[in-house]
Amino acid sequence: LAKTTQPISMDSYEGQEVNITCSHNNIATNDYITWYQQFPSQGPRFIIQGYKTKVTNEVASLFIPADRKSSTLSLPRVSLSDTAVYYCLVGPGGSSNTGKLIFGQGTTLQVKP
Amino acid sequence: DADVTQTPRNRITKTGKRIMLECSQTKGHDRMYWYRQDPGLGLRLIYYSFDVKDINKGEISDGYSVSRQAQAKFSLSLESAIPNQTALYFCATSARTGGDEQYFGPGTRLTVT
């Protein structure tokens, strides 16, 4: 499974857009990029998944360049409740998914008033 | 009602004791997983099950065993608990074709003294 690298922590203010970048230089052809969010003492929650280009849902956007060696999770207009740890995961997805998720340390996002 | 429930939510036990953590789900998913999380770290996979008759070891299965009693129930046992098994334990489920989107329970905080 491809190794991912993301910043340990980030700070932001309410109302700002936050972009968290994840590096995955060894991503394989059948790998998807998935992001999870975790609040303290809760289980992680799926946010978004993508394979290439851009994916958007009601919570976030995911930007993936053509070489797929990195990806950026974009959270529009964050609020205090977006303070959490965000995990970037890379692994076989779609019909090739193995169900085996590898969580790194994640990025701790602190949103300030 | 929560889709994935875990019991107990908190447990303190002594070294050498046998303990079982239980997980139940109402999502109708085939796949179930057990993870542990240590402070400041991501989640690590202990065991996973793709159906009732399929049990697989994860990356840190030593000292643990599991039982898949039914599609909806997946139990994790510590045969002889030791202090370094003190951690937050999460159960998760996913659909057969959606292994990347896992639904996590609220967690069990286990302390081994």
Residue range B17-38, pLDDT digits in tens? 999 999 999 999 999 999 999 9
Question: Could you give the CA distance from residue A49 to residue B41 in angstroms, rounded to a whole number?
Answer: 22
CA distances from B65 to A102, B34, B73, B103 (A): 20, 10, 14, 21
Question: Could you give the CA distance from residue A67 to residue A54 in angstroms, rounded to a whole number?
Answer: 13
Output the pLDDT for position A95. Answer: 60
Query: Three-class SS of residue A27?
Result: coil
State percent of chain B over pLDDT 90: 81
- Measured CB to CB, residues of chain B less than 8 Å from chain A are 4, 31, 33, 35, 40-45, 48, 50, 58, 88, 90, 92, 94, 97-107, 109
Partner-chain contact B102 A46, CB within 8 Å = yes
Interface contact A96, partner B, CB < 8 A: no
Q: Is the pLDDT of residue B12 over 60?
A: yes
With the C-alpha atoms ordered A19, A4, A104, A44, is the resulting torsion angle positive or negative?
positive
State percent of chain B over pLDDT 70: 96
Per-residue pLDDT of chain A (113 residues; tens, 9 = 90+): 568 899 999 999 999 999 999 999 999 888 889 999 999 889 999 999 999 999 999 999 999 999 999 999 999 999 999 999 999 988 876 665 666 777 888 999 999 99
Question: In chain A, positions 28-87, which contact chain B (CB-CB < 8 Å)?
Answer: 32, 34, 41-46, 49, 87
- The residue that leads in pLDDT, A2 or B89, is B89
Q: Is the pLDDT of residue B99 over 60?
A: no
Q: How do strand A9-13 and strand A107-112 relate by DSSP bridges? A: parallel
Partner-chain contact A46 B42, CB within 8 Å = no
Output the pLDDT for position A100. Answer: 72
Q: Is the pLDDT of residue B95 over 90?
A: no
